[in-house]
Amino acid sequence: MLTKERIRCEKLRDRIISAEEAANIFKTGMVVGTSGFTPAGYPKAVPLALAKRADKGDKVEITLMTGASVGDELDGALSRAGVIKKRFPYQTNTSCRNSINNEEIEFSDIHLSHLPQWVKYGFIEKIDIALVEAIAITEEGGIIPSTSIGNANVYVQKADKVIVEINTSQPLGLESIHDIYSPENPPNRKPIPILKTGDRVGTSYIPCDPEKIVGIVITDIKDANKKLAAIDEDSRKMANNLIDFLEGEIRFGRLPENLLPLQSGVGSVANAVLGGLVDSNYENLTVYSEVLQDSVLDLIDCGKVNTASSTSLTLSEERLENFYNNIDQYKEKIILRPQEISNNPEVIRRLGIIAINTAIEVDLYGNVNSSNIMGSRLMNGIGGSGDFARNAYLSIFVTQTTAKNGNISCIVPMVSHCDHTEHDVQIIVTEQGVADLRGLSPKGRAKTIIENCATGEYKEMLKDYYNRALKCSKYKHTPHIIGEALSWHNRFLETGTMRINP
Amino acid sequence: MLTKERIRCEKLRDRIISAEEAANIFKTGMVVGTSGFTPAGYPKAVPLALAKRADKGDKVEITLMTGASVGDELDGALSRAGVIKKRFPYQTNTSCRNSINNEEIEFSDIHLSHLPQWVKYGFIEKIDIALVEAIAITEEGGIIPSTSIGNANVYVQKADKVIVEINTSQPLGLESIHDIYSPENPPNRKPIPILKTGDRVGTSYIPCDPEKIVGIVITDIKDANKKLAAIDEDSRKMANNLIDFLEGEIRFGRLPENLLPLQSGVGSVANAVLGGLVDSNYENLTVYSEVLQDSVLDLIDCGKVNTASSTSLTLSEERLENFYNNIDQYKEKIILRPQEISNNPEVIRRLGIIAINTAIEVDLYGNVNSSNIMGSRLMNGIGGSGDFARNAYLSIFVTQTTAKNGNISCIVPMVSHCDHTEHDVQIIVTEQGVADLRGLSPKGRAKTIIENCATGEYKEMLKDYYNRALKCSKYKHTPHIIGEALSWHNRFLETGTMRINP
């Protein structure tokens, strides 16, 4: 019965194998592309079996490509077992991150909308195996994804072999939430026909030649749902500052009453910022993002959000259960797309997205670091922030003014790594206030950021640096004291704090 | 007779005024948007008269927005006369540049595809006067531009008053080369219906309510055509390296035989690179760019280029004369668009542009500085390089390995300003060779850049920095010695050379 509902293509039913058998298909040197975007919709049983195989001494070293971050069964287990040698394009797993920063894994940090193209263009390693979590396989071999899509459609298209993990913990009710559309390569590409957040333009399954499916593994391991930190005082202040700013934009006629489609990055702060809208007066909001976190479901529940598009459902355990219980209602308002579409610059620019992403640090002139701490240590990666920020109607970055108990200032003279240049950053929001950088010169930006976003001793230090730079710098377009521009980071590396008199 | 052909709207014929009368319309504090993109198609007579007025002691301080760079009659004369107080979004004029670096002009350095949107969205200063060079005005008041469009259409749409400079040195034969299309603002924006380089989707004139036209000035001052430097040995080597790379891409099946539409930045190197294709075996090439320089006309002449789209014609004096003499033939192959369209991410991504832009400096990890020398001194601005690089099929940056007689290394440990992040830079070409960075980790990029693109003592210094960084850096994703990362720039500022033993 289960098999009939979940594997509707009769001739595929005899390809059911165990996770261990599936793990044996992987060989050293292979390039593996998996489903998964955030800890949602990623394969679990086969990676665990593969890690076990490696732990037993069987050497398997692979290149792993995903949608974005995935759960510990994939990134964690395989990193710890030494299976991952190269990793694309984003991760958030502690074991994986440590291996990247210890030279054990080569990590290539790519815009999330670029990777699917690059695979299709043949710019990077050819995919040997696509490993995809699904809720079911259709009569024709089409793969119906679960709680995320990511790049699964592209990996299935380009791989020699496909292994499907049918996950019975993911309800069949998810069927028809997905909308799979894959643009052709240039010179044959056509306009992506999405004009509104909720437009459906593709199929509800990933087309797949059934002959490519070499194994089907049945599992019931649940998504490792993220626990979001409780909304703290600073997050609440950032959310309020952001809402004040948006109110002003409406007043000045620069945003319609129901705003424009919202995008918000992954994590507690991003969740809190959207959560702040629950108590607002907005109506008929829309979301066009790469993730939907709890706050978006709250906004749907209270009638504020009409339509939400994304490539993954990143819900807490309770919220996911509630979602499943009311799946038919939610499906009317939620649509999951491949990340090539959720993060597509064409669509983002057309719809006019309000992009809200978090920064690790920003500098006086509005450059943003969102990947490398102290210039060297990979945190997560750029993810989709560049896809959205670069093409958004409004490109907003949020950050607290300090981190690590005040030992790090998140506003610095010069970023130690740049992921979003001054040209791509329009609005900076901290718990202190909002810096609206649109149309300002570098000096105007510096004054606004110091005045509106900084606080305490770091504010004084920033003023001091800026004033001295303006005086000393021979060229005064972007005043810097080049020998001192990164001294705050150097001080932190040497003393553990950016403070001068800790 | 001239008036009848050039001003076809009868009721506008009595609005002809002198350049001096037009100059008197400008008041301190006004925001002026002009036509012009490179020294082509910009207003000349009125700015010269305005500069004269200011030189006589009449205080007029304005904000000037253009398409991109313009000729000396506009940027130069008005900078020297102290008329420009704020400037958007790009410039290449010596006087203007000096004023920007001396704190006399506030300069806001914006992606060229962003400025038109920002004006339409109301994100920045409202336009008081649009000052536009034209070849003629249609029966309904439509303005037919000359050798460039830039943002003229947007300024005309948004300005309270419009002043037209009818330039009789620009032949009426230019009519119908232009294609004016202006996307609506979100949430009403539709797909831009361009599927091929040569598709015409708009009008051949800038629509304009004739009531807004407050003055028409007749002039015959010619475009200040750029002299391109003769193609030197290094440029030839870069061009050859680039062509070798493209050949490889065809061989590997990653590019079609006739490539994909080419974009090449402004200047001698960019011109030389495209010029290198004249002796190639390619056929049916297309160009989708922001400028067309001499080399593109050479490629059309020798039958290699079929269709070329841009927002300006930046030709040498001889080439422009030749162009005018054969204008009907060229018009079949050349199309001029507003920069909102020539530089549009949607179109660039769809068509699959091969973007070739020049870097001021690149660093070990593939970050590119294209605007601020030694972190502070504005050179020209980011221009359209970000529009193209970020959305291109192939994002290529070219640079010589050294500048200033070898006192500056154009490959440095860390860029002193970042305009294109590691995520947006795929290929680096120097006279030494090609670094293909696609899919590489930061360490892989560093090794490839040092090995393929650097030379001489700087190559040894880069190796030394990288090896020590890899050893010392606690976190090894992007190895840096943060206290030394900008030391080469500091040494240059202090001693006049980046060399250790000059």
Q: For B145-169, write each residue's pLDDT tens digit.
A: 999 999 999 999 999 999 999 999 9
- Residues in A touching B344 (Cβ below 8 Å): 349
Residues of chain B positioned with their CB less than 8 A from the CB of A482: 374-376, 416, 486, 489-490, 493
**The predicted structure's pLDDT at residue A449:** 98
Asked if A29 reaches chain B (Cβ–Cβ under 8 Å), the answer is no
B193 CB near a chain A CB, below 8 Å? yes
Asked if B474 and A493 come within 8 Å (Cβ–Cβ), the reply is yes
The predicted structure's pLDDT at residue B44? 98
- A-B contacts at Cβ under 8 angstroms: 241
pLDDT tens track for B284-321: 999 999 999 999 999 999 999 999 999 999 999 999 99
Domains A2-219 and A233-455 fall in the same CATH topology: yes
Computed over every residue of chain A, the mean pLDDT equals 96
Distance set, CA B144 to CA B120, B264, B277, B326, B363 (Å): 21, 26, 33, 20, 44
pLDDT at A273: 81
Is A372 in contact with B478 (CB distance < 8 Å)? yes
- Whether the pLDDT of residue B343 is over 80: the answer is yes
Q: Which of B421, B448, B466, B490 to mutate to test the interface with A (most CBs of A within 10 A)?
A: B421
Residue listed under structure tokens 């507690």? A268
What percent of chain B clears pLDDT 70, i.e. is strictly above it? 100
pLDDT at site B309? 98
Please state, in angstroms and rounded to a whole number, the distance separating the CA atoms of residues B303 and B323.
15
Helix (H) or strand (E) holding A442: helix A442-453
Q: Could you tell me if A419 lies within 8 Å of chain B, comparing CB atoms? A: yes
Closest CA to A403 of A446, A354, A369: A369
Which of these, A145, A134, A152, A174, lies nearest to A320 by C-alpha position? Answer: A174
pLDDT at B1: 64
Closest by alpha carbon to B405, among B496, B306, B487, B309? B496
Domain ranges of chain B: 2-219, 233-455
Whether the pLDDT of residue B267 is over 80: the answer is no
Taking a C-beta distance cutoff of 8 angstroms, is the pair B128, B95 a contact? no
Cβ contact (<8 Å) for A386 and B195?
Answer: no
Q: What is the pLDDT of residue A1?
A: 64
Residue A350 has its nearest CB partner, among B186, B378, B420, at B186
Assess contact for A46 and A317: CB atoms under 8 A. Answer: no
Task: Considering only the beta carbons, identify the residue of A345, A352, A423 that sits closest to B346.
Answer: A345
Domain boundaries A2-219, corresponding CATH code = 3.40.1080.10
Q: In angstroms, how far is the first alpha carbon of chain A from the final one?
A: 67
Mutation target for A interface from B86, B97, B475, B488: give the one with most A CBs within 10 A. B475
* Residue B349 contacts A, CB cutoff 8 Å: yes
Q: Is A226 annotated as a binding residue?
A: no
Among the partner residues B189, B438, B483, nearest to A490 by beta-carbon distance: B483
Mean pLDDT throughout B231-247? 92
Q: What does A64-128 look like in DSSP terms, one character per residue? A: EE-SS---IIIIIHHHHTT-EEEEES----HHHHHHHHTTSSEE----TTHHHHHHHHT-SPPPS
Q: What CA–CA distance (Å, rounded) separates A57 from A276?
A: 50
- Enumerate residue ranges in chain A where pLDDT < 50: none
pLDDT for the residue numbered A207: 98
Residue of B nearest to A385 (CA): B423
B143-145 and B377-378 strand pairing: unpaired
Q: What is the pLDDT of residues B19-52, one digit of tens each?
A: 999 999 999 999 999 999 999 999 999 999 999 9
Collect all residues of chain B within an 8 Å Cβ-Cβ radius of residue A439. 88, 108, 110, 118, 123-125
pTM above 0.95, yes or no: yes
B351: which chain A residues are within 8 Å (Cβ-Cβ)? 186-187, 189
B489 close to A (CB below 8 A): yes
Look at strands A106-107 and A84-88 and give their pairing.
parallel
pLDDT on residue B301? 95
Enclosing H/E stretch for A262: strand A262-264
> Chain A contact for B419, CB < 8 A?
yes
Lowest mean pLDDT, pick from A251-255, B118-122, B227-231, B330-334: B227-231
Rounded CA gap, B296 and B65, in Å?
Answer: 28
Between CA A335 and CA A353 the distance in angstroms is 16
Nearest to B482 among A375, A393, A421 (CB): A375
Residues in chain A: 502
| B375–A482 C-beta distance less than 8 A | yes
The residue in chain A having the minimum alpha-carbon distance to the alpha carbon of residue B444 is: A106
Residue B231 pLDDT: 80
Question: How much is the pLDDT for A351?
Answer: 98
Q: Which residues of B touch A106 (CB under 8 A)?
A: 441, 443-444
- Whether B8 has its CB under 8 Å from any CB of chain A: the answer is no
d(CA A97, CA A99): 5
Taking CB atoms and an 8 Å cutoff, what residues of chain A touch B109?
422-423, 442
Residue carrying structure tokens 């749409």: B157
Consult the annotation and say whether A439 binds a ligand.
no
Domain A233-455, CATH: 3.40.1080.10
Q: Is the Cβ pair A186, B444 closer than 8 Å? A: no
A88 touches chain B (CB under 8 A): yes
The pLDDT of residue B269 is 77
Q: For residues A479 and A443, is the Cβ–Cβ distance under 8 A?
A: yes
Mean pLDDT, rounded, of chain B: 96
Please report which helix (H) or strand (E) contains residue B263, including its range: strand B262-264
Of the candidates B290, B340, B361, B431, the residue annotated as catalytic is: B290
Q: What is the mean pLDDT of residues B471-489?
A: 96
Q: Tokens 């061989």 appear where? A: B251
Closest partner residue to B124 (CB to CB) among A256, A439, A479 is A439
pLDDT tens sequence across B426-477: 999 999 999 999 999 999 999 999 999 999 999 999 999 999 999 999 999 9
ipTM for the predicted complex: 0.97
Q: Is A380 annotated as a binding residue?
A: yes
